[in-house]
């Protein structure tokens, strides 16, 4: 019996078989446009408890057992033990991202200070890796929102801010997805469905796959609902969701994740050696 199935128990004294409904699985997802194709139709599922938040807060939901599965930033897989990857979908790219970019007043190789949008832990880690491995530099990273207001050479921006609030006066740009592809020849994964080990997800992995398929089939419905109100031009949003972003998780994506974790350890972003990438297997009943 899975958590998503209705169980029936018998009272031996009366023979009465009351219905017992298994508790809803608790799913955490990012609230951004890029996650909408992955959660299509799940918002109204009676047997799921779906919560939306910024990427950097999803790890706490797993740690505090408020979520059974979450669309977790890939770097955060290394910050909590006893997690497993559910390869039903993720947010990735195979080249430019359009929405994860460094804007710099100087040539990229001369950056000394970088103010970061810390909503995405993975993007900050990727910036450290790219600047170290490709450009041979280790600038000082500061928090864009909670910094001391000191001048900075460059900004790391993600999401809607890149499209709708592109900063002026920063003549040099670097798309981190494009830089990763040049460095490694691999795709990149920013976030992936991740569960706490020992949780029986029932048929949720298959439902997440179907949600992804349905979401991509209904992109034209998602754009006026979620992209245009946030300031996205419709044509750019369509390109973003159907060309720039990749939502499938296969062997190449898993290989890229393992390499990303190894490089993150080399750059002291995470502890070394990194945790093994465990793949979800349904518990034996």
Locate the domains of the chain by residue range. Answer: 6-94+188-266, 100-184
Res 146: pLDDT:
62
Res 95: pLDDT:
98
- Is 185's pLDDT higher than 80? yes
Tokens at 210, concatenated: 């179907």
Domains 6-94+188-266 and 100-184 share a fold: yes
Q: How far, rounded to the nearest angstrom, does the alpha carbon of residue 41 sit from its chain's CA centroid? A: 19
User: How many CB atoms within 10 Å of residue 106?
Assistant: 14
CATH value of 100-184 in 3.20.10.10, 2.60.40.10, 3.90.1170.50, 3.40.190.10: 3.40.190.10
* Percent of the chain whose pLDDT exceeds 90: 75
Res 149: pLDDT:
65
Exposure class string for 146-180: b at 16+ Cβ within 10 A, else e: eeeeeebbbbbbbbbbbbeeeeeebebebbbbbbb
CA distance 96 to 153: 22
DSSP 43-93: TT-TTEEEEEE-GGGHHHHHHTTS-SEEEEEGGGGGGSSSEEEEEEEEEEE
β 100-104/172-175 pair status: antiparallel
Q: Reply yes or no on domain 6-94+188-266 having CATH 3.40.190.10.
A: yes
- Is 49's pLDDT higher than 80? yes
- Is 130's pLDDT higher than 90? yes
Lowest mean pLDDT among 69-73, 82-86, 147-151: 147-151
- Is 118's pLDDT higher than 90? no
Average pLDDT over residues 195-204: 94
Res 4: pLDDT:
38
- Is 12's pLDDT higher than 90? no
- What is the pTM for the complete model shown? 0.88
Res 22: pLDDT:
56
Average pLDDT over residues 120-144: 95
Res 2: pLDDT:
40
- Is 11's pLDDT higher than 50? no
User: How many CB atoms within 10 Å of residue 197?
Assistant: 12
Higher per-residue confidence, 75 vs 166: 75
């Amino acid at each position: 019996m899975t958590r998503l199935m209705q169980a029936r128990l018998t009272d031996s004294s009366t023979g009465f078989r009351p219905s017992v409904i298994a508790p809803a699985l608790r799913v955490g997802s990012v609230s951004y446009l890029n996650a909408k194709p992955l959660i299509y139709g799940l918002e109204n599922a009676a047997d799921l408890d779906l919560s939306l938040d910024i990427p950097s807060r999803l790890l706490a939901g797993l740690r505090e057992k408020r979520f059974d599965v979450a669309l977790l930033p890939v770097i955060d897989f290394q910050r909590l033990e006893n997690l497993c990857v559910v390869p039903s979908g993720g947010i990735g790219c195979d080249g430019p991202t359009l929405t994860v970019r460094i804007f710099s007043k100087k040539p990229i190789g001369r950056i000394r200070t970088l103010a970061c949008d810390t909503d995405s832990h993975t993007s900050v880690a990727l910036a450290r890796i790219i600047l170290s491995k490709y450009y041979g530099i280790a600038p000082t990273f500061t928090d864009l929102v909670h910094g001391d207001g000191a001048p900075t050479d460059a900004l790391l921006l993600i999401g809607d801010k890149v499209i709708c609030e592109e900063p002026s006066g920063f003549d040099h740009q670097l798309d981190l997805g494009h830089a990763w592809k040049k460095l490694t020849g691999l795709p990149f994964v920013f976030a992936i469905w991740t569960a706490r080990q020992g949780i029986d997800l029932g048929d949720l992995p298959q439902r997440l796959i179907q949600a992804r398929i349905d979401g991509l089939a209904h992109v034209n419905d998602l754009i006026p609902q979620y992209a245009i109100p946030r300031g996205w031009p419709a044509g750019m949003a369509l390109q973003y969701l159907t060309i720039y972003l990749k939502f499938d998780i296969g062997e190449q994506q898993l290989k890229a994740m393992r390499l990303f974790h190894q490089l993150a350890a080399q750059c002291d972003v995470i502890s070394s050696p990194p945790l093994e990438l465990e793949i979800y297997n349904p518990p034996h009943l």
